[in-house]
Structure 1
């Protein structure tokens, strides 16, 4: 003798399947995108030799790369790397010696490319011993700053700057809305 399928068990199975698919779908959804502006280098130290400045620019570029890699690896954000994002950033860099000084330009570029967030970074070399890595995380839809951090680096060297960039990435992730 078979028992007919009870309507309540049908509803319970339906709810269970819906909940399961919702959780799986949420886990597979793409993370929000962030536009990372170029890290600017402000050098107010006494050492302005071209070879030193060129080496430091390579350090800044490497720090920006570490920052981007840490954000992407977190799976909580996807750093924009599209042609549209590159074009928008190149246009700002062509118009400004220090793109980080034009927050409105970076927010507009992020809106244009569909990013949810924009990160504005700057490196300020004060002396041969002290460098500051500053960063601001803004929500693009509101223009509201979510984070403004400054990390002091006690050495003029690439390794310390990369470590500071990794710390800045962790701080950025910690300031994302839940």
Structure 2
């Protein structure tokens, strides 16, 4: 309260000063107040700018695929593997800059990820492995996902966002899709997953 009162008295001094020498003092004081106030106002605006708070990084790892449909038709199996493999890129594309994260795919650690396939049938299920790749890429968070095909038409998807530093899960979601047998349906699946990620706030 005292500082506000001092400001009122100083303002009154600037506004009611007389001419002559007092007028010169009044003009110098008022000019100094503007010069002193400008940097402070600038700092306040700078500190309040949302652009100064960088978004945390999120790396979408390749999705794990489990096919229990027993549909061994070559074209069907090949298409399924392709759609699942491009999910991270499609999700990143759908998100754009609309999420609370700066979203990356796992391209920078792709050789390391593919190297895990020699040891693990489902590398994404090796949580320590995924966290190690996240740390290597200097990410704040990673997203691991799995696709389980239960029948010719029924697919279950689950996603989990993990804090790389602590190893703790910060968000998890699961969904079911019926009729996931075409590129259009998988486009909708990617959009749905992107929408879920968009509403995650750390």
TM-score, structure 2 as length reference: 0.75
What is aligned with 1:116?
140
The answer to whether the aligner puts 1:14 opposite 2:39 as a matched pair is yes
Structure 1 residue 81 displacement after superposition: 5.0
Change (3 A) 1:36 1:55: same
Measure how far apart 1:91 and its partner are. Answer: 3.0
Displacement after TM superposition at 1:120 (Å): 0.4
Compared CA separation, residues 73 and 61, structure 1 to 2 (3 A): farther
Change (3 A) 1:102 1:126: same
2-11 vs 33-42, which deviates more?
2-11
Q: 1:126 aligns to what? A: 150
Matches within 5 A, 1:20-59: 20-24=45-49, 26-27=50-51, 30-59=54-83
Q: Which has the higher contact order (CA 8 A, sep 6+)?
A: 1
d(CA) in 1 for partners of 2:105, 2:86: 16
1:168 deviates by: 1.5
Q: Larger Rg: 1 or 2? A: 2
Kindly state the Cα deviation for residue 173 of structure 1 after the two structures are TM-superposed: 2.9
Deviations 1:126-164 (A, max 9, x none): 011211121111111111111221111111223222212
Q: Distance in 1 between matches of 2:55 and 2:145?
A: 21
Q: TM-score, normalised by structure 1?
A: 0.84
Q: Distance in 2 between matches of 1:120 and 1:33?
A: 14
RMSD between superposed Cα atoms in Å: 2.4
Contact 2:88 2:105 in 1 (8 A): no
Q: Does the 8 A contact of 2:60 with 2:106 survive in 1? A: no
1:167 aligns with 2:192: yes
Shift of residue 113, structure 1, vs aligned partner:
1.4
Q: 1:43 to 1:64 in 2, by over 3 A?
A: same
Measured after TM superposition, the shift of residue 38 of structure 1 is 0.6
Greater shift after overlay, 78-87 or 129-138? Answer: 78-87
Structure 2: runs of 5+ lacking an equivalent = 1-22
Give the match's secondary structure for 1:159. Answer: helix
